[in-house]
Structure 1
Amino acid sequence: MDPADRASDAPAPDDRTPAPSSRAPRADAFRPHRVAVLALDGLLPFELGIPHRIFGRPRDRHGRRLYEVVTCSVRPPGPVETDADFAIHVGHGPEALATADTVIVPASYELGPVYERGELTDELAAALALVRPGTRLASICTGVYVLAAAGLLDGRPATTHWADAGRFQRLFPRIGVDPDVLFVDDGDILTSAGVAAGIDLCLHMVRRDHGTAVANEVARRTVVPPHRDGGQAQYIRRPVPDPQQASTTGARAWALGHLHEPIQLRDMAARESMSVRTFTRRFREEVGVSPGQWLTQQRVERARHLLESTDLSVDRVARDAGFGSAQSMRQHLQAALGVTPTAYRRTFRAGGGAPVPSASAGR
């Protein structure tokens, strides 16, 4: 067990005044951001544990937990069935949703009306009605059906497990389903692909709230990558490749060590002794995005790290991240994060915590 897991915290009072949703705690009026995880019958225990593990880690410089995570049910406290051979005891009823700053809905396999007709059960509808307007909402895997059945995703982008994306789209034609990404961040509503993509999503929310350094520390202690390349395409079943086929792994490792330099597609292909066409096809198969998209993603992550952790000028950060100019970096950060480099640094350089919207959608 990680030593940090053994730390104890005094229970938070139940009569606190909820802070504006999606806002991280401030040092001058500290209150941990409250995450409510909605446990529904038929849930996957693994998915239920993801928010507790990820949001239970981050602490401020005083050692105080930045998040408080509670599990609740649509019924009074009591047992909730899982898809395994055991049930769990949930200590909070639906009233916990009314005090949450973020509500997360993991997948469940015993919600017939929701999955078959896109309709909420009466008790689920009553529970969701308790969620305060403006609360940040998120789903893991097919938990997105609950948000969709509540009408919260109409006209918005979303994702779910690649194997369920077609059925989900047919049931909810007004939602823009992207089956290729690990998660979609649409501001106040976030959705993730299957199971482990819930880890990617929760780490992304921590990164959005408190910056890359905090999220990376959570990932390190959880022994998972802080950011996974590509999308779901790399996990879809394909014919087993010839073991003699070359991989693009070496080219990716080389590129990460040379992000500050101009990198051409032909340079990466040459590292693996492939034609550009073969390399591009193989890269998409392994990573799920094009080499160009991947390079931009890595440069944005490098720029975020430098803006947070150094006092380098914006021009220098742009050069070190491989964007060439501050204007180019500004355009890419604006597209990926919705903010300028200066605004991003102002938010996170001093350990702030205002959320930074992201248009990344897991790419």
Structure 2
Amino acid sequence: MLNKLNLLRNKIDILDLKLLDILSERLKLVKEIGLIKNKYGLPLYVPEREKSIINTKKKEAKKKGISPSFIENIFRYIINESYSYEKIKIFKKIKPNFSKILIISNNKQKISLFKEMLITTGYNVDYIEEKNLYIKNDITYLFKNIGMIILDISKKFFTKLVKNLSFLPKNCVLVDLSPIKEISIKKILKLYKGPVLGLYYLFDYKKDLLFKEYIIYCHGRKKKNYSWFLKQIKIWGLKIQNMDIIEHDKYIFFIKSLKYFFMLIYSTFLIKTNISLNKMFMLSKTMDCLHLFILKNCFSQNPKLYNNLIKNSKNNTRNIKKYLDYINNLAILDNKNKIIEITQILRKIKKLPIT
């Protein structure tokens, strides 16, 4: 019995080595693809190609009696690893002779990946931290010979800096990364007559690659002047999505302001009922613990920041009152009609399309 077992294990070991050789050959081909993509400025991530590979392999797996979901997981790992091999040191630079890019940010860690991608692509980038820039002094020297300025700054600093934007070079592309576009871009467009682009990135800045991440863009003015930059972002492997400024802010309100608003309600409930967070952690499963961890750390920063997020738009306060009315209206759980209404709401949510 042991001899037969060892024989079978030896056969598996031989197959495993062959599998490693095949993966090694595949990654060599991937590197060659990376060089071609770089030469012709093709995007790192092509979702249609990835989808096609996985669907084909799942169908083949089913024919061979192998679990399609098992094969899908394997190929997702292989493809994700392939992207890091496909990425070469320098991406195709859409604007070879572009002037300097200036980044002003209040969070060095958050903007670092974006900055690194620009540098990796061969652009000349200057970075200044918000706290090191004194607006009371003459800062117009910073704007000399720059082709783009990227702003990822606090609301307070933005109010001070915005007055200096009229000194930017005529065709300098101004990229605004603030979460609420309606307020910032309106002010920018009043004081600066050049090209303006709003970006809102959704990627994890702790990663070393941007492929498969999303970035939302909102047109401000003179699209032709920054269309190349959107192409450059696609080459990095990002998925880009256009949104109207009003629509963008509407959804950011839901994502940001209401998140903190509901956290506040949840926290108030816990305090009023004298619930121990430690005991909740002890009795909770992994996913529940994650929710509690978010709750525990939600207000670790200055509470004024969250208060400002809620009140950042004129519509926010009115909307919050409206949601409170909805909650109060549904809270009468001993009413049979209300129970029916809640059930209908939950059924509608279940049917919402999620892609």
Q: TM-score, normalised by structure 1?
A: 0.27
RCO higher in 1 or 2 (8 Å CA, sep ≥ 6)? Answer: 1
Judging by fraction of residues, say which structure has more helix: 2
